[in-house]
Amino acid sequence: MRYSHNLIKSNKEAREFDTVNATLLQKGVFIDQTMAGVFAFLPLGLRVLQKIEQIIREEMDTIGAEVFLPALVPTKLWEQTGRFDTVDVLFKATPANAGSAKRNDATYVLNSTHEDTVAPIAGKYMLSYRDLPFAVYQIQTKFRNEERPKSGLLRGREFRMKDLYSFHASDEDREAYYEKAKEVYVRIFDRLGLGADTVIALASGGDFTDDYSHEFQTKLDTGEDTIYHDEKEDVFYNKEVASPELQKATEGIQVSEVGNIFPLGTKFTEAAEYMYTNEDGKQQPVYMASYGIGSSRIMGVLVEKFHDDRGIIWPANVAPFTVHLVGISGGDDAVTAKAEAVYEKLTAANVEVLYDDRADVSPGEKLGDADLVGCPWRAVVSGKTGDSIEIKQRTSDAMELVTIDDLITKLT
Ligand code: ATP
Ligand code: MG
């Protein structure tokens, strides 16, 4: 992709925000804040988000089927589960034409999560013991009127989440699947470059369940959560459930919650009057669990963890492009033509290349932008590089002159 005509720029005027991810993602014009806690994802930012979500999708496909549930739902779904008045972050939407002669449907909900929405659908189609177990997931925008939206993508009022819902004939079956889902989560955080710093912590089930839920917590100084490590048992506990003794005896660890999985018992299936028919023709309760991953929060966490004073250093799996090609022509058409040729050849070889083809930007600014944007490789074509291309990795200052064929071999 070319810089020019594609809403790819840097914004040196962007101010310093409260966290590194908010600052770097806005200086790099990956995202743009529309209001507190609400962001537009621009071309660079959307590519990163989609890469994160594609990794999650590939792993989820091994344990469930993808669906896309509505964000806008009738209040009835939330009243039925008793949550319409208890979830304080819920957005309730009243349309301008509510109560008009034609329509008297006054209020809707913009979903903050989808247990209330998915259980009635499951209860319509998956009624036999032969249908169970099954699981569906989606990757979607969620709405929560957080009291203090802050820290860039770490806490939004509109944010992205992968949510999976599993349905079972017994709680034992739910437990077996739940353990499998944990392993899939571990693979996801490994592939996202967060494996080494992410642990599972026991936490409260919130308004879902009296059991513990399990949080995937990534160690991060700017994270909002605190967990404690019980070294004897080798178990991590969220602050909200850690015994006082443990809190006195050990240092809290700052973390950001990147995922959370919940055993739900029969709360939502009962509310939806969802039972299944067993082998003997008897109606039986359905056990449910839900599994969330915050994909947009993860994008923020990655920037918090992987950056230096010049900009972002994306893990290769989620980088917006593999190589940032910088053309420095100094007005020399022959150099421009060479940079164009390199761009075409890389593209033809299926290398994901971001080509800084801007004519009105200084070399220093272009190189600075390459550091800010944080692709794994930088390739420079200039009057000095002759028939070669000067390449370097974002994580190193060592430069190398290579031919286009060498470069393609390196990057494919
Ligand atoms: P938190 O404790 O951080 O408010 P939560 O426990 O309310 O999060 P869940 O309902 O468990 O969140 O949502 C699943 C995942 O979605 C979380 O683990 C987190 O990664 C992400 N998430 C939750 N709230 C937000 C938010 N406001 N902005 C961005 N991501 C979020
Ligand atoms: Mg949670």
The pLDDT tens digits for 112-128 are 999 999 999 999 999 99
**Would you kindly state where each structural domain of the chain is located, as residue ranges?**
3-71+111-308, 323-411
Q: What is the pLDDT of residue 210?
A: 76
Q: What is the pLDDT of residue 102?
A: 64
- 133 CA to middle of ligand 2, Å? 24
- Check pocket membership of 38 for ligand 1, CB cut-off 6 A: no
Across 99-103, 148-152, 315-319, 322-326, least confident range: 99-103
Task: Please give the backbone phi and psi of residue 352, each rounded to the nearest 5 degrees, phi first.
Answer: -80, 110
Q: Which CATH superfamily is domain 323-411 in?
A: Anticodon-binding domain (3.40.50.800)
User: In angstroms, what is the C-alpha Rg of the chain?
Assistant: 25
- Nearest protein CA to atom 2 of ligand 1, as residue: 257
* Mean pLDDT on 272-301: 98
Q: What is the pLDDT of residue 257?
A: 98
- Nearest protein CA to atom 11 of ligand 1, as residue: 260
CA neighbor of 154 nearest in space, from 297, 305, 32:
297
Is domain 3-71+111-308 classified as CATH 3.40.50.970? Answer: no
* Mean pLDDT on 6-18: 90
- Proximal ligand: closest to the CA of 149: 1
* Mean pLDDT on 342-362: 97
- Check pocket membership of 114 for ligand 1, CB cut-off 6 A: no
Statement: residue 23 has pLDDT above 90? yes
SS3 content of the chain, % helix, strand, coil (to 5): 30, 30, 40
Q: What is the pLDDT of residue 79?
A: 97
CA neighbor of 141 nearest in space, from 260, 40, 17, 21:
40
* Mean pLDDT on 76-100: 92
Q: What is the pLDDT of residue 12?
A: 84
Most informative mutation of 25, 113, 260 for ligand 1 (most atoms within 8 A of CB): 260
Higher per-residue pLDDT: 71 or 101: 71
- Check pocket membership of 146 for ligand 1, CB cut-off 6 A: yes
- 342 CA to middle of ligand 1, Å? 43
Percent of the chain with pLDDT over 90: 92
Q: What is the pLDDT of residue 95?
A: 87
- Proximal ligand: closest to the CA of 189: 1
Q: What is the pLDDT of residue 103?
A: 63
* Mean pLDDT on 368-395: 97
Statement: residue 191 has pLDDT above 90? yes
Q: Quote the mean pLDDT of the chain.
A: 96
Percent of the chain with pLDDT over 70: 98
Most informative mutation of 39, 143, 145, 161 for ligand 1 (most atoms within 8 A of CB): 161
Beta bridge partner(s), residue 236? 201, 229
3-71+111-308 and 323-411 share one CATH topology? no
- Proximal ligand: closest to the CA of 294: 1
Q: What is the pLDDT of residue 266?
A: 96
Q: Which two tokens stand for residue 334?
A: 């022959």
Per-residue pLDDT tens digits for 214-225 = 999 999 999 999
Higher per-residue pLDDT: 109 or 16: 109
Ligand 1 nearest atom to the CA of residue 216, by list position: 18
Contact 136, 64 (CB under 8 A): yes
Bridge-based pairing state of the strands 323-328 and 377-382 = parallel
Statement: residue 106 has pLDDT above 80? no
Statement: residue 367 has pLDDT above 70? yes
Sorting pLDDT into bands at 50, 70 and 90, what band is 105?
low
* Stretch (H or E) spanning 261: strand 253-265
Sorting pLDDT into bands at 50, 70 and 90, what band is 149?
confident
- 257 CA to middle of ligand 2, Å? 7
- Nearest protein CA to atom 21 of ligand 1, as residue: 294
Ligand 1 nearest atom to the CA of residue 300, by list position: 29
Q: What is the pLDDT of residue 98?
A: 79
Q: What is the pLDDT of residue 97?
A: 82
Statement: residue 281 has pLDDT above 70? yes
